[in-house]
Amino acid sequence: MTDISNSLSGALTRIAGEVDACFDAMLPVPDDARKRLIEAMRYAAIGGGKRVRPLLCVAVAEMFGVSRDVAVRVGCAIEAIHAYSLVHDDLPCMDDDDLRHGKPTAHRAFDVGTAVLAGDSLHALAFEILGAPDIVTDPVLRAELVMTLAGASGSAGMAGGQMMDIVAEEQSFDLPTVTRLQQLKTGALLGASVEMGAILGRVPVDARTPLRLYAHDIGLAFQIADDLLDHEGDEALAGKALRKDAKAGKATFVSLLGPERAREQAQALITQAIGHLAVYDHEADLLRALAQFVIERKK
Amino acid sequence: MTDISNSLSGALTRIAGEVDACFDAMLPVPDDARKRLIEAMRYAAIGGGKRVRPLLCVAVAEMFGVSRDVAVRVGCAIEAIHAYSLVHDDLPCMDDDDLRHGKPTAHRAFDVGTAVLAGDSLHALAFEILGAPDIVTDPVLRAELVMTLAGASGSAGMAGGQMMDIVAEEQSFDLPTVTRLQQLKTGALLGASVEMGAILGRVPVDARTPLRLYAHDIGLAFQIADDLLDHEGDEALAGKALRKDAKAGKATFVSLLGPERAREQAQALITQAIGHLAVYDHEADLLRALAQFVIERKK
B17-58 pLDDT tens trace: 999 999 999 999 999 999 999 999 999 999 988 999 999 999
> Does the beta-carbon distance from A167 to B33 stay under 8 Å?
yes
CA distance B87 to chain A (A): 11
Residue B100 has φ and ψ, to the nearest 5°, of -150, 130
> Is A34 in the B-facing interface, judged by CB distances under 8 Å?
yes
**Residue B25: how many CB atoms within 10 A of its CB?**
10
> Would you state the pLDDT for residue A233?
78
What would the mean pLDDT of B68-91 be, rounded to a whole number?
A: 97
pLDDT above 50 (res B108): yes
Q: How confident is the model at residue B235 (pLDDT cuts 50, 70, 90)?
A: confident
In this model, does residue B1 exceed pLDDT 60?
no
For A136, name the nearest residue in chain B, comparing CA atoms only: B143
Judged by CB atoms within 8 Å, which residues 89-128 of A form the interface with B?
A: 91, 93-94, 111-114, 116-117, 119-121, 123-128
pLDDT band at A181 (very low <50, low <70, confident <90, very high): very high
Residue A1's pLDDT is what? 45
DSSP A191-242: HHHHHHHHHHTT--GGG-HHHHHHHHHHHHHHHHHHHHHHHH--HHHHTS--
Residue B50's CB is within 10 A of a number of other CB atoms, namely 15
Contact residues on chain B for A181, CB-CB shorter than 8 A: 33
Q: Is ipTM > 0.90 here?
A: yes
Q: Say yes or no: A180 contacts chain B, CB-CB below 8 A.
A: yes
Residues B160, A116: C-beta atoms closer than 8 Å: no
Average pLDDT over residues A72-97: 96
Give the amino acid at B166: I
Among chain B residues, the shortest Cα distance to A132 is held by: B147
Does residue B246 have a pLDDT over 80? no
* Residue B72: pLDDT over 90: yes
- Tell whether B39 lies on the interface with A, counting CB pairs under 8 A: no
Smallest CA–CA distance, residue A91 to chain B, in Å, is 8
Check B146 against A142: CB less than 8 A apart: yes
Which of the four CATH numbers 3.30.200.20, 2.30.30.100, 3.40.50.150, 1.10.600.10 does domain A2-296 have?
1.10.600.10
* pLDDT of A196 over the 90 cut: yes
Q: In this model, does residue B265 exceed pLDDT 80? A: yes
The phi-psi region of residue A212 (left if phi > 0; otherwise alpha if psi is between -120 and 50; otherwise beta) is alpha
Q: What integer pLDDT is reported at residue B230 of this predicted model? A: 87
- Residue A269 pLDDT > 60: yes
* Contact: B131, A144; criterion CB under 8 Å: yes
B100: β partners: B103
Q: What percent of chain A has pLDDT over 90?
A: 82
Q: What are the residue ranges of helices labelled H in chain A?
A: 2-26, 35-45, 52-63, 68-89, 106-109, 112-131, 139-153, 158-167, 175-182, 188-200, 209-232, 235-238, 244-248, 253-257, 259-276, 285-296
Burial A182-210 (b: 16+ CB within 10 A, else e): bbbbbbbbbbbbbbbbbbbbebeeeebeb
Q: How long a stretch of residues is chain B?
A: 299
Residue of A nearest to B169 (CA): A33
Q: Where are the domains of chain B?
A: 2-296
SS3 content of chain B, % helix, strand, coil (to 5): 75, 0, 25
Range of weakest confidence among A245-259, B90-104, B218-232, B277-291 = A245-259
Nearest CA in chain A to B41: A155
The predicted-structure confidence for B178-226, as pLDDT tens digits, reads as follows 999 999 999 999 999 999 999 999 999 999 999 999 999 999 999 999 9
Of A28-42, A146-160, B239-253, give the lowest mean pLDDT range: B239-253
Buried b (16+ CB within 10 A) or exposed e, A253-274: bbbbbeeeebbebbbebbebbb
